[in-house]
Amino acid sequence: MRILSNNCIGAFLYKDYGMPYKTPLAMLQVAPSDFVKLCLDFDNYLDSGLESAESSDEEVIVKWVQVGGSAANIKFPVGKIGGEIVLFFQHSKTFEHAKEAWNRRKERYQKDKSQIYVILNLMGYARFMSNKEARERVIGEFLKLPFGQKILLHTNAEVAMTYNKQKEIIYVGEIQNSWFKFMGENPRNRKNYHRFDFDKWLKFPKAKEQKAELNPKNKITSKDNTLNALDQQAIALESLTPEKQKHINELDNAKIRIHNHLAYKLGVAMILNSKSLWGYIRMPYVLSYIKESHKIEQQKYQEKIAKNPSLKLPKLEFYPDYQEALKIKNHLSYKLGEALIEASNVRGGGANICLFAILPRSA
């Protein structure tokens, strides 16, 4: 496979799948506006030859700022192809080293005739994405690219709502850091960029970094066959530290949103506390605490989006795992929580007395 990407994500994927770089666009970065222009006439730009560029050049600085950098930190070789496409060789010490690698990978790319995959990765490009005019222009040009396999990955909720019917425009959830800092994190030995299912898209077996599971010590061994795998995983998460939970939650989208529904949280708590007599005794207090905590969380969220509407989360159907996430609503935990909420509404908040009636005897 040949991957054309605007930053290191292409090289990372080659490494994940144990393949040599079959693209000259490996271990470098290209501004989004340049990338779509480059892809539109890639072969001709390749033939134009790579030339050195000055880091102090105004055009170079403008494009570096576009990807979140500043003039002060261009301390690596910079090149140009076609006299206009700027390439930032952040992983090379000298331009000669960068050019040698470029030519070697260019030859490998030109000899290979396999499928081309185009990735415009805008995860963590907050500065660029905040410029609506620039991003809309780039997205429009990206959608016109003549490639059957192309994706644009982003973390902007507004873009997700605008382009929810474009299958190539993929929202992978919000992140707080820039792309550089984002790549520095590696929770559960799983690469952050695998928020998107590259295995399925590239038709490859699971990458090594994606095989990490929850620590066996945290797994639940239950005799209750009514608990499915996701219910067990949710219970296992209860034993993790808040910091680890935060990292894990950042990996998923619609599933985590549904896990945060009050019905699901109540249901999981009911199952956990139904394992012992002491659990039954304390259950009303636990459920009351969860309900109040959930109410406070929702109030804080409403206050946050009132101040900054752009922070509003997109509808669940905008997430790539939406259909899979819907299945969670059929799990025992979710059904129990729904039943409790309904009973509470009917009885005016005094539903705790009917917990024994709601809980299955096998729980």
Q: What is the mean pLDDT of residues 88-105?
A: 93
Q: Measuring CA to CA, which residue among 4, 66, 11 is closest to residue 39?
A: 4
Q: What is the mean pLDDT of residues 195-199?
A: 82
| pLDDT tens track for 39-65 | 999 999 999 999 999 988 888 998 898
Q: What is the pLDDT of residue 82?
A: 94
Q: Please tell me the distance from the alpha carbon of residue 122 to that of residue 306, in angstroms, as a whole number.
A: 26
Q: What is the pLDDT of residue 181?
A: 52
Mean pLDDT over each residue of the chain, to the nearest integer: 77
pLDDT bin (cut points 50, 70, 90) of residue 97 is: very high
If one compares 231 and 304, the residue with the highest pLDDT of the two is 304
| pLDDT tens track for 112-138 | 888 899 999 998 788 888 888 999 999
| pLDDT tens track for 271-306 | 888 888 888 888 888 888 888 888 888 898 888 888
Edge-to-edge strands of the sheet including 116-121? 2-5, 116-121, 150-154, 169-171
The 10 Å Cβ neighbour count of residue 213 is: 11
Torsion angles phi and psi, residue 37, rounded to 5: -65, -40
Q: Please tell me the distance from the alpha carbon of residue 355 to that of residue 237, in angstroms, as a whole number.
A: 24
pLDDT at 38 over 80: yes
For 55-59, 244-248, 250-254, 330-334, which range has the lowest pLDDT when averaged over its residues? 244-248
Between strands 78-81 and 50-53, the pairing is antiparallel
Tell me the C-alpha to C-alpha distance, in Å, between residue 247 and each of 137, 191, 203: 33, 11, 27
pLDDT bin (cut points 50, 70, 90) of residue 347 is: low
CB 7 within 8 A of CB 29: yes
pLDDT at 252 over 80: no
Q: What is the pLDDT of residue 209?
A: 40
pLDDT at 349 over 70: no
Please tell me whether the overall predicted TM-score, pTM, comes out greater than 0.85 for this model: no
Q: What is the pLDDT of residue 43?
A: 92
Distance between the two ends of the chain, CA-based, in angstroms?
50
The 10 Å Cβ neighbour count of residue 61 is: 19
Q: What is the pLDDT of residue 268?
A: 87
If one compares 137 and 362, the residue with the highest pLDDT of the two is 137
Q: Across-strand partners of 50?
A: 81
Q: Measuring CA to CA, which residue among 138, 147, 259, 255 is closest to residue 201?
A: 147
Phi-psi region of 173 (alpha: psi -120 to 50; beta: other; left: phi over 0): left
Q: Please tell me the distance from the alpha carbon of residue 50 to that of residue 47, in angstroms, as a whole number.
A: 9
Amino acid residing at 187:
P
Q: What is the mean pLDDT of residues 96-113?
A: 91
Q: What is the pLDDT of residue 94?
A: 94
Q: What is the pLDDT of residue 213?
A: 35
For 216-225, 240-249, 297-306, which range has the lowest pLDDT when averaged over its residues? 216-225
Q: What is the pLDDT of residue 95?
A: 95
Which element (helix H / strand E) includes 236?
helix 229-238
Q: What is the pLDDT of residue 219?
A: 36
pLDDT bin (cut points 50, 70, 90) of residue 155 is: confident
Radius of gyration of the chain (CA): 25
What are the extents of the domains in the chain?
2-210, 216-358
- Helix, strand or coil, per DSSP, at residue 219: coil
Phi-psi region of 27 (alpha: psi -120 to 50; beta: other; left: phi over 0): left
